[in-house]
Amino acid sequence: MNPFWQPLAVFLTVALAIGLRFIPKLRGYQFTAWIIAAVTAAMIFPTAFLKWGDFNLRDKWLMLVIIQFVMFGMGTQMSLKDFTGIVKTPRGVLVGILCHFSVMPLVGYGLTRLFHFEPEIAAGIILIGSCSSGLASNVMAYIARSNLVLSVTVTAITTMIAPLMTPRLMQWLAGELVTVSVLKMTMDIIEVVLVPIGAALLHDYLKSAAPRGRKIVHGIVAFGVAWIVFLVCGGWVKIKSSSGEGMIAVATIFGFMLAAVIAGLIYHELVKRFARIEKVMPVLSMFGIVYFTLVTTAAGRDNLMKVGALLFLASVIHNAAGYAFGYWFSRLAKLDKSSARSVSFEVGLQNGGMAAAIANSMNMLGTMGLAAAIFSPWMNISGSVLANYWRKRQPK
């Protein structure tokens, strides 16, 4: 490509992403436009998004903090009431969960057999199929005017049981492609998903908590601060030197859970003083995902040049199969059309951020993480189109 067109291509995609904000009918596609801009920039100037001087943009701790922030932002859009939907629509919730953790992993596995991708790239397709639903499914259900309560409940529950399901599905379906440690992957998912979302849900709890409940939270925070001081002052070194892998894992998760309580309380106090923070969180989360897309695409640029077209085709098939199987399995289970549409979104739309975070923790961001970078933008585009189509064709 002519060097002149390289910066121009980046400029035009960024300008498009900014411009969509001012077109009401297209505003819903702004996030997707930012993802496309990120992919374009990273493909053209990959080295610019790998290191800034001596600063590694793929540093594990940096990536962990960013993905936790993204998940925390997702959690602020959730509520403890979201879980009550299991009482209102138990059959729909069960169908949604079963379809989600069966259709997408198996279709992903089938696609790896069909296209014969390299092992780590193939494992990434299975990985994104094995992750929980993303908040995008709730947005699409809202746009489509389908059963929003069912959608929100399935998203909440699949997110909470992901530490149990995702590692085992990966071991079963991708174990011959990459080395999968169920314990480590379970810990990774707890760290990047449950801990930040738990912190956000604590904020939701504190909004209406009784005085006794608040005292308990404050007590846990005090203990958590003391625990962190203990770890910093040599406690962590002692634990690592005198404990086995299992005990170290327990201590790590315990520390993260205490940190979640501290973060949840701090956020709650900040929101009480600066209410606008709640409105800003989704936007900040969006840019966290854009950052992940930039770095993932830059790291896997050479692989994308080889298999990008096939990977995109796989994403289209995977996504479409999720919508179709989710909808028709729901209808076979006697769910109404509105509920079936919600299940369709829950099955077809995956949590790309979670997949990228796991790939990063396994040091395979440039290979296993590519599926998340390609699948995520397409899921947003197809979901928006399908949601608007169904919105205009409401069940009678």
Residue 1 domain flag:
yes
- Written as six digits, the tokens of 116 are 């014969």
Does one domain contain both 184 and 313?
yes
Report the pLDDT value the prediction gives residue 126, as an integer from 0 to 100: 95
Does one domain contain both 29 and 125?
no
Residue 299 domain flag:
yes
Residue 57 domain flag:
yes
CATH number of the domain that 381 lies in? 1.20.1530.20
Residue 118 domain flag:
yes
Residue 12 domain flag:
yes
Does one domain contain both 286 and 261?
yes
Residue 379 domain flag:
yes
Report the pLDDT value the prediction gives residue 2, as an integer from 0 to 100: 53
- Written as six digits, the tokens of 179 are 């080395």
- Structural contact between residues 124 and 369, judged by C-beta atoms closer than 8 angstroms: yes
Does one domain contain both 169 and 307?
yes
How many distinct structural domains can be found in the chain? 2
Report the pLDDT value the prediction gives residue 146, as an integer from 0 to 100: 85
Does one domain contain both 64 and 146?
yes
Does one domain contain both 229 and 246?
yes
Does one domain contain both 207 and 93?
yes
Does one domain contain both 14 and 75?
no
Q: pLDDT tens digits for the chain (396 residues)? A: 457 788 888 899 989 889 988 888 787 778 778 888 888 888 888 888 888 888 888 777 888 888 888 888 878 877 888 777 677 788 889 999 999 999 999 999 999 999 989 999 999 999 999 998 877 788 788 888 888 888 888 888 898 899 999 999 999 999 899 988 888 888 888 888 888 888 988 999 998 889 999 999 999 999 999 998 998 888 888 888 887 777 787 888 888 889 899 999 999 999 989 888 888 887 788 788 888 888 888 887 887 788 888 999 999 999 999 999 999 999 999 998 989 999 999 999 998 888 888 888 888 878 898 888 888 878 878 888 888 888 888 876
Residue 172 domain flag:
yes
Containing structural domain, residue 187: 53-391
Does one domain contain both 156 and 201?
yes
DSSP string, 238-299: HHHHHS-HHHHHHHHHHHHHHHHHHHHHHHHHHHHH-TTHHHHHHHHHHHHHHHHHHHHHHH
Does one domain contain both 22 and 171?
no
Residue 307: name the closest of 162, 124, 158, 176 by CA.
Answer: 124
Does one domain contain both 71 and 1?
no
Residue 396 domain flag:
no
Query: E strands, 29-151, where?
Result: 51-52, 55-56
Does one domain contain both 16 and 98?
no
